[in-house]
Amino acid sequence: MRVYCDCGKMFEATRAQVGGIVNCPGCDQSVDVPGLNDPVWRAIQCAAVVGILAVTLLVTSFSNVPTGIFCGLGFGLLMWLISRAF
């Protein structure tokens, strides 16, 4: 996950540092690493759940239930992979 310091430096934080504090390699100031409980992350998680339900219902409406569930799970897997990329 990318972290931006007030000094303008951008650096990578490991997943273990998410939600914690790291020292900036540029100015040695402590910087908060946004955690998964941040409002933005919560919004993304809510959007993912709504998206999964929407995809499931949409596909179910013009196909059948198993296909809808399959597409919903596929969409969920895609969202999970996207979230891992951060």
Q: State the residues that interact with Zn ion by CB under 5 A.
A: 5, 7, 9, 24, 26-27, 29
For residue 11, the minimal CB distance to Zn ion (Å) is 8
Residue type, 5: C
For residue 32, the minimal CB distance to Zn ion (Å) is 12
Instruction: Give the nearer residue to Zn ion in terms of CB position, either 24 or 55.
Output: 24
Greatest distance between any 2 Cα atoms in the chain: 57
Instruction: Give the nearer residue to Zn ion in terms of CB position, either 6 or 64.
Output: 6
Helix crossing, 65-85 with 39-62: angle to 10°?
160
For residue 9, the minimal CB distance to Zn ion (Å) is 5
Instruction: Give the nearer residue to Zn ion in terms of CB position, either 9 or 60.
Output: 9
DSSP 9: -
Residue carrying the six token digits 């059948």:
64
Return d(Cα 25, Cα 63) in angstroms, integer. 54
